[in-house]
Structure formats: structure tokens, C-alpha cells
Structure 1
Amino acid sequence: MGFLVRLLVNALALYLLTQVYGGVTFAPGADVGSIVIAALVMGIVNALIRPVLLLLSLPVNLLTLGLFTLVVNAVVLWLVASVTALNVNGFGGAFIGAIVLAVISWVLDHLVGFLGLDGRRG
């Protein structure tokens, strides 16, 4: 999937998350640029910091059969909220928000693939 398409899908997913779950919101007055910046920061954090967190939490992740990954995803969402216009209501809000965001992203990824917007030939 092209970088721009992936960025726009992430931005839409973050926006939809703020619409369906009240624990995660954008700051009042946030515009489309703020949403795209939050999506860009989310991509950078997922690419650079999330793998380190997963590696450090590997023993706990093995003991919980991978469920601790939900906690890592919540930490990632919390980190993104700390440096962007995204607001999260505590760690519980980040935890539930990360689960909802994963579902929304999964649906959007499949929709983009179904529509053929991901650039794959099939």
C-alpha cells in the first residue's frame, strides 16, 4: 500500500475513532492538518518505538499468549496523544481506544484492498 494511501487510511481511522469512542478526542479546534499529523506520528511510533516495546515485553507477551500486545498498543496511542492534538482519557481510555482503533483500521484496510486502492495487482 502506498505511503500516502496508508497515511490517509490512518488519519481516517483516527478521526473515526474520535467519533465512535468518547475516551479519545481531538483538541478543540483541531483541523484536518492536525489529524494527518497525528496519523503521521502514529506511523512513526509504530515503526520505531512499538517494535522495541514488543521486544522488551516479549516474556510477558509469551505468558499472556499475546494479549499483552493490547497494552503495548495502548501505550503507543498514549504516546501519540502526548505529542499531538489527540487527547486520551487515561490509560483505560487508551486501552479501549487502541482496541477500537485496531478494529476500525482492519475494516478500512480491507475496504481499501477490496476497492483496489492499495495499488496491488490481483
Structure 2
Amino acid sequence: MGFLLRILVSALAAMLTAYLLKPAVKVDSFVTALILALVLALLNALVKPLLILLTFPVTIVTLGLFLFVINALIILLAAKLVPGFKVDGFWWALLFSIVMTIINSVMISLAGGNND
């Protein structure tokens, strides 16, 4: 599945997740969701590997559960960078990360993106 299609699916997943977590997570428009999807893709490609490397001992001790914390921190950083995207706190960012991952996986599998 191409990069553009994955960004579009991620933007739709972000909109749906924000709708489900409405009082605490806010995405202003679909354009904001597209920008959010691009920023999350960049942060996941550039910042997340560095955070995983720096926190590797903690990740091993917690049997990988610390990766959820890293995902929540990436969401909070994206909320600072993207105007029109707001998350009320760490726990909402953690929940947003989990729900968005599930929705994104379902939407990509429905789109037939697991062939590549």
C-alpha cells in the first residue's frame, strides 16, 4: 500500500478516534488530521527509534510495555506541533494511541494493505 494511501487511512483513523474520545481529544478538521498523520509518520520514523534506543533497558524490564509510554509521548509531542490537534493529558494520549492503532489496523486490512 502506498505512502499516500497510508497517510489518508491514518488521517481517517485519527478523525474517528478523536470522535470516539471527544471530550478529551480534539481534531479540528480533516486537513488537521492529514497534517497530524504526516507529523506522526515523521516522528515515528525519526524520534521513536531514538527513544526506543535510549530506553531499551526499561523496555526490557517492563517486557515491552514501556513502548506504550513512548507512543503516548509521541502523541503529546504531535499535539504540541500540530495546530488544531489537542489532547488533554498523558492518559488520554495513551488511550488515543491504543485506539488509533486498532482502528488504523482494521482500516488498512479492510483496504487490502497487508499484501506488500
TM-score, scaled to structure 1: 0.86
The CA RMSD over aligned residues, in Å, is 1.6
SS of the residue corresponding to residue 65 of structure 1 reads: coil
- For structure 2, the residue ranges without an aligned partner over 5 or more in a row are none
Instruction: After TM superposition, list the pairs within 5 Å mapping 1:21-100 onto structure 2.
Output: 21-22=21-22, 23-26=24-27, 30-84=28-82, 85-100=84-99
Cα distance in 2, alignment partners of residues 95 and 120 from structure 1: 29
- For structure 1, the residue ranges without an aligned partner over 5 or more in a row are none
Q: How many residues align?
A: 114
Q: Aligned-pair distance for 1:54?
A: 1.0
Residue number in structure 2 paired with 1:15: 15
Cα distance in 1, alignment partners of residues 55 and 46 from structure 2: 15
CA contact (8 A) 1:2 1:119 kept: no
Moved over 2 A (4+): 118-121
TM-score, scaled to structure 2: 0.90
Q: Which has the larger radius of gyration?
A: 1
Percent sequence identity over aligned pairs = 39
